[in-house]
Amino acid sequence: MTTARPPEAADPRRRVPRTDAVLAEPELRAAAGRLGRDRVKRAVTAAQQRARDGLIDPAGVAADALAALPAAATTIRPVLNASGVLLHTNLGRAPLSDAAVTALSAVAGTCDVELDLATGRRGRRGTGALDALRTAVPGADAAWVANNGAAALALVCAALASGGREIVISRGQLVEIGDGFRIPELIESTGARLRPVGTTNRTHLRDYAEAIGPDTAFLLVVHPSNFVVSGFTADVGVAELAGLGPPVVADIGSGLLTPHPRLPDEPDASSTLTAGADLVTASGDKLLGGPQAGLLLGGGQRGAELVERVRRFPLARAVRVDKLTLAALEASVTGPPTPVRAALDADPADLRARASTLAASLAADGVDASAVDTVAGVGGGGGPGVELPSAAVSLPARYADALRAGDPAVLGRVADGRCLLDLRALPARDDDVLAGAVRAVRPGV
């Protein structure tokens, strides 16, 4: 006589736990609070199906669902920047300071972004950030913030030169910036007319003077980013242009507020205003080291009036920044040195010492690692041609792909058949995390 087996033994699918029971597990309940219940439920349902298909044990449904869930409710992943490029556009440019991150958390809920708590009435938006910019930039009598550098320049062109008025600019500054965006196309899209003067390599003061007429809105100076013309060249500075009469607008690009000794040729906002520019535009997420933003800084009475015209222009509403950007920008300007500033100021000897310590530790674990001297760059269009002495951990080239796909992801660079993990843009506090990521790469990968 044959003994009948219990139904659950005959069909393992009967042992697959119910959805509500799995969702009640403490770890999955916590995940639902972090990621949303619907997302967690989809992961549970998928795990249950894998159990029914015999791919996992029914007892492992909860663990399988947890393993499939991301750590955060976003598909954007953090990456350790070991590329040797301080402002890597593909990595979001400037990493925010701890002060800026704290400021983001502080205003994430409701806040007084446009409320005067003393009177209970509507207040001026972003007063703290604007005051901080004026204080940080000698010569700035007015400030306003758009959502990125291109928006700041486009807004100025729209507000001051729409309706077919002319913007006089050197041909040598009609450059193409990231992702195929071209300065002339950006400006002409606002309804302004370009009046190019001079040639690609040589422009003289008389070229500007002869182009000025009744339709001239302003003279525009554009920092050509990482485009450099050398040899038989001539250009006209802001100080010379300021004597011609029309307003001078300077787009300095990188967002350097005051001079930096390692970037002697990089235009900065303070020096540009002092030289006579009426209005300066720049990015906030490059050398300033803050969030993505477009800065508008006006010098003198005329500059302040221009900023106010731009601020009141209808398009300004469409490109203004939110409370998060204002808070992070203010903290970046007033707080301790940003990670970008720390990376610029890093001592090459300290970088070599870190690389040697890391390489020795990895080599002790059997990794083919060594410390090498390298050269890092600024990136983000800033400091073209500037070489920053640095140091890196050198690994076999195969590590580059594996590290980029790892968790955490690490972006290095391959040179001369080796994967270099440059430390110039990587804070020292991430050294242990970097070493752990390297150790996690399987031998032979």
Whether 423 and 352 map to the same domain: the answer is: yes
* 73 domain-assigned: no
Looking only at the bridges linking them, the beta strands covering 216-222 and 166-170 are parallel
Last residue of a domain, one of 336, 365, 395: 336
Tokens of 131: 């005051």
Whether 369 and 416 map to the same domain: the answer is: yes
Whether 356 and 328 map to the same domain: the answer is: no
Tokens of 152: 């700041």
Last residue of a domain, one of 282, 316, 336: 336
pLDDT for position 277:
97
Whether 159 and 292 map to the same domain: the answer is: yes
* 36 domain-assigned: yes
* 1 domain-assigned: no
DSSP lists the bridge partners of residue 168 as 195, 219
pLDDT for position 442:
81
Q: Which of 78, 105, 142, 148 is nearest to 288 (CA)?
A: 148
Report the b/e string of 208-239 with b at 16+ CB within 10 A: bbebbeeebbbbbbbbbbbeeeeeeeebbebe
Q: Are 48 and 54 in contact (CB under 8 A)?
A: no
Residue 193 burial (10 A CB sphere; 0-12, 13-18, 19+): middle
pLDDT for position 231:
82
Whether 411 and 320 map to the same domain: the answer is: no
Its domain, for residue 49, covers 9-68
Whether 275 and 192 map to the same domain: the answer is: yes
* 74 domain-assigned: no
DSSP readout, 168-222? EEEGGG--B-GGG-BHHHHHHTTT-EEEEES-SSB--HHHHHHH--TTEEEEEEE
User: Which residue matches tokens 């640095």?
Assistant: 390
Q: Return per-residue pLDDT of the chain as tens, 445 residues.
A: 455 555 555 566 789 999 999 999 999 999 999 999 999 999 999 999 999 999 999 999 999 999 999 888 888 999 999 999 999 999 999 999 999 999 999 999 999 999 999 999 999 999 999 999 999 999 999 999 999 999 999 999 999 998 889 999 999 988 887 677 788 999 999 999 999 999 988 999 999 999 999 999 999 999 887 677 778 888 899 999 999 999 999 999 899 999 999 999 999 999 999 999 999 999 999 999 999 999 999 999 999 999 999 999 999 999 999 999 999 999 999 999 999 999 999 999 999 999 999 999 999 999 999 999 999 999 988 888 899 999 999 999 999 999 999 999 999 999 999 999 999 999 999 999 999 999 999 876 6
Q: Are 161 and 290 in contact (CB under 8 A)?
A: no
* 444 domain-assigned: no
Domain count, the chain: 3
Whether 298 and 347 map to the same domain: the answer is: no
Whether 292 and 171 map to the same domain: the answer is: yes
Residue type, position 204, single letter: H
Query: For the domain that residue 424 is a member of, what is the CATH number?
Result: 3.90.1150.180
pLDDT for position 259:
95
Whether 84 and 148 map to the same domain: the answer is: no
Last residue of a domain, one of 292, 312, 336: 336
Whether 181 and 139 map to the same domain: the answer is: yes
Sheet bearing 166-170, strands edge to edge: 142-146, 294-298, 279-283, 248-253, 216-222, 166-170, 193-197
pTM: 0.90
Q: Give tens-digit pLDDT for 332-367.
A: 999 999 999 999 999 999 999 999 999 999 999 999
Whether 324 and 288 map to the same domain: the answer is: yes
Query: For the domain that residue 266 is a member of, what is the CATH number?
Result: 3.40.640.10
* 365 domain-assigned: yes
- The alpha-helical segments, DSSP class H, found in 203-285 are 205-211, 238-241, 269-274
pLDDT for position 176:
82
Whether 332 and 345 map to the same domain: the answer is: no
* 2 domain-assigned: no
